[in-house]
Amino acid sequence: MARIPQEIIEEIQRRVDVLSLVGEYTSLRRTGNSYMGLCPFHADSDPSFSVDPEKGLFYCFGCHKGGNIFQFVMEVEHCTFYEAVERLAERAGVSITAKVTPEEEASFKKERALQDLNLRLVGLFEHFLHSREEGRAAREYCVSRGIDLSWARDTFHLGYAPHDPCWLYRFLRRKGYSEELLHVSGLFSAKREGYAIFSHRLIFPIYDVSGKVVGFGGRALREDQQPKYLNSPETSLFKKKRLLYGLHRALPELKKTKKVILVEGYIDVLLLHQHGIMNVVAPLGTAFSREQAIQLKRYADSIIFFFDGDTAGERAAQRAGMICEAVDFSCRMVVPPRGEDPASFLQKKGVEEVRQILMEEKDVFQCLLERRVKEGILTSSETDMREFVTSMFSYIRSVQSTMRRERLLEEMAESMGVSLGAIKEDFDRFQSSEGNSAPLSTTMGRNRRRTTEVFLFQALCAHPEYYTVVRPLIQEDALEDASAKELFFALEECLRAGTMDRPDAVLEHVTDEKARELALEAVFSGEFEVPLEAVREAVFRWREQWLHRRRREIERKIALYEREGGDIQELLLEKMYLDKELEKLRGYERYGKTSE
């Protein structure tokens, strides 16, 4: 990545007021030296989002996201660090000049070339759809689905890929595009040179959230063409699990309504947008992913699934619901009549009927439960009944809130006409058999018990000025916790760079998510407002524990070598060294000072 000079980063930080920036996304109220508000990154009912204007940092005690102004913009705008710097530099009136290595420049050039190629193809495919005779079949298909071609051209830029699969490659080579670029574009077969993966298909350009063309989707126009829908393969620009069709156009409405409608197909998105329902997106022909749920949660408080009115649509809604429950994203659903999808329902009944059905949204679990009971699952075979109960329990297991789990179990018991105790007993058995007997949040809570090592490095993150005092007592090879080791390396980098006086400096060098969370917790929780003496004590306790463990290991090795006739001289020397170090620590304990 291009390296932006540190002095420019610091100048932007000096000029951008963190309270003003964050205040554009959530209301803040002063609490002591910090400001609290509802978190913009997760569904928050009680203010858990803290901003410290003096340190220029933010932290959420609920979802544990945090950092400086650059991390905030990266999270809220879903952009790269470089893009965040660009946006904040513009806000601050700072001119930026990035230093790039030759390798980085080559990578940037390749990405720019891919983007330029994609843009050219949008125009080319549009021309074939609207102006060429061979695009007639695609035009007729659009009309049959109720798509206004003029509107689609101005908004989603639909196109048509020509029938001859070899034409596109020849055309682009004549225009000067290199073989290497066309190969990495993903638009041509790896097995058949010059053979376009899209031919005789209606083309849907796919944009990222910032509005850049990153790939294409294609819909077959002949009955015998397989698959019916085809997407660009994964490239440096095109990551299916992180993209949603229509998001770049839906974003303003999402931010306004705080609600997103998820449909299954490109045509569903097009027709709903065309008729003024703008907060609609779709996954790219694949199952809805956790990454997509997290991305949408940044912009909306809730999601409505508007899938096809068939069994497959119900299954898709259940899978998507479980994904949303797992990330604590409020999810609801509506169901068109059997055999209809959102687009066909709109064509037959009109947009007002669609708006009406969207107003009848229900909780996903409740809707699925009601439909299965109505279809007669309670009088079905034992096998079908077991599958139904298992699928409902699987859904409940994905729920993060214990109170919501209890409520869903109550609803299930009431709908099935059985006692709550019986349902809970079966659910507990299901949990045990699946090896997952506690909500994720509970499990995480249990696993976050601090070791002395972790406490020590959290305290040093909260007070980097202590680090130079205790550094001589820290041995790198004595570090056992991976997160503590990551924080140690970050502190070392700050020491080398001379940035210990900057509150956010440690975070710049932490890449591991768990370690980052620990560092942010240390800065914001207040738990680590401890004097230097407490940190020195923690260093000695940690070192003492390590020395005792190492001494026991050496004693075991000595006993083993003595039995087998091995040379124990080096082991005895190390044991003497460890005994000496332990004696030093005991001296500290007796006299309250180090013997360095």
pLDDT recorded at residue 444: 28
For 424, the token pair is 């809970």
pLDDT recorded at residue 99: 64
Mark which of 369, 392, 414 sits at the end of a domain.
369
CATH at residue 274: 3.40.1360.10
Same domain, 456 and 585: yes
Question: Which letter, b or e, does each residue of 549-566 get, where b requires 16 or more Cβ atoms within 10 Å of its Cβ?
Answer: ebbeebeebbeeeeeeee
Q: What gap in Å lies between CA 386 and CA 67, rounded to an integer?
A: 47
Q: In what order do the strands lie in the sheet with 302-306?
A: 280-281, 259-262, 302-306, 330-334, 362-363
Same domain, 120 and 81: no
Same domain, 478 and 535: yes
Is 88 within a domain? yes
Domain interval for residue 56: 6-92
CATH at residue 18: 3.90.580.10
- Amino acid letter, 416: M
Q: What gap in Å lies between CA 456 and CA 51, rounded to an integer?
A: 24
Same domain, 296 and 354: yes
Is 553 within a domain? yes
Same domain, 470 and 540: yes
Is 324 within a domain? yes
Same domain, 437 and 463: no
Residues 6+ apart with CB under 8 A from 311: none
Same domain, 149 and 227: yes
| 8: number of Cβ within 10 Å | 17
Strand pairing report for 302-306 and 259-262: parallel
For 221, the token pair is 């126009």
Is 596 within a domain? no
**Can you tell me whether residue 233 is helix, strand or coil?**
coil
**Can you tell me whether residue 218 is helix, strand or coil?**
strand
Q: Count of domains in the chain?
A: 5
pLDDT recorded at residue 447: 32
Is 290 within a domain? yes
DSSP string, 554-588: HHHHHHHHHHHT---HHHHHHHHHHHHHHHHHHHH
Beta strands in 238-382 (DSSP E): 259-262, 280-281, 302-306, 330-334, 362-363
- Amino acid letter, 459: A
**Site of tokens 């596109």:** 168
Q: What gap in Å lies between CA 267 and CA 340, rounded to an integer?
A: 13
pLDDT recorded at residue 98: 63
- Amino acid letter, 23: G
Mark which of 391, 415, 443 sits at the end of a domain.
443
Same domain, 581 and 476: yes
- CA 2 vs. chain centroid, Å, equals 23
For 341, the token pair is 């999808």
Listed as ranges, residues in the chain with pLDDT below 70 are 1-3, 43-45, 98-101, 104, 434-450, 503, 587-596
Same domain, 10 and 48: yes
- CA 41 vs. chain centroid, Å, equals 11
DSSP letter assigned to residue 121? H
Is 1 within a domain? no
What is the number of residues in the chain? Answer: 596
Q: What gap in Å lies between CA 591 and CA 95, rounded to an integer?
A: 57
Please report, for residues 190, 195, 266, the alpha-carbon distance to residue 219 in angstroms, rounded to integers and kept in the order given: 21, 17, 9
pLDDT recorded at residue 106: 77
pLDDT recorded at residue 438: 37
pLDDT tens profile 513-532? 788 888 888 888 777 777 88
Residue 261, phi then psi, degrees to nearest 5: -105, 125
Residues 6+ apart with CB under 8 A from 26: 37, 38, 39, 40, 49
Ramachandran region of residue 305, left (φ > 0), alpha (ψ -120 to 50) or beta? beta
pTM value surpassing 0.85: no
pLDDT recorded at residue 485: 86
382: exposed, middle or buried (Cβ count in 10 Å: 0-12, 13-18, 19+): exposed
Helix (H) or strand (E) holding 415: helix 402-416
Contact 261, 357 (CB under 8 A): no
Closest to 489 in 3D by CA, of 502, 506, 473: 506
Same domain, 414 and 482: no
Strand pairing report for 57-60 and 66-67: antiparallel
**Can you tell me whether residue 234 is helix, strand or coil?**
coil
- Amino acid letter, 184: V
pLDDT recorded at residue 522: 81
Same domain, 261 and 356: yes
Q: What gap in Å lies between CA 570 and CA 554, rounded to an integer?
A: 10
| 423: number of Cβ within 10 Å | 22
- CA 241 vs. chain centroid, Å, equals 10
Is 97 within a domain? no
Is 176 within a domain? yes
Same domain, 352 and 425: no
Q: What gap in Å lies between CA 151 and CA 136, rounded to an integer?
A: 17
580: exposed, middle or buried (Cβ count in 10 Å: 0-12, 13-18, 19+): exposed
**Site of tokens 């045509």:** 267
- CA 348 vs. chain centroid, Å, equals 38
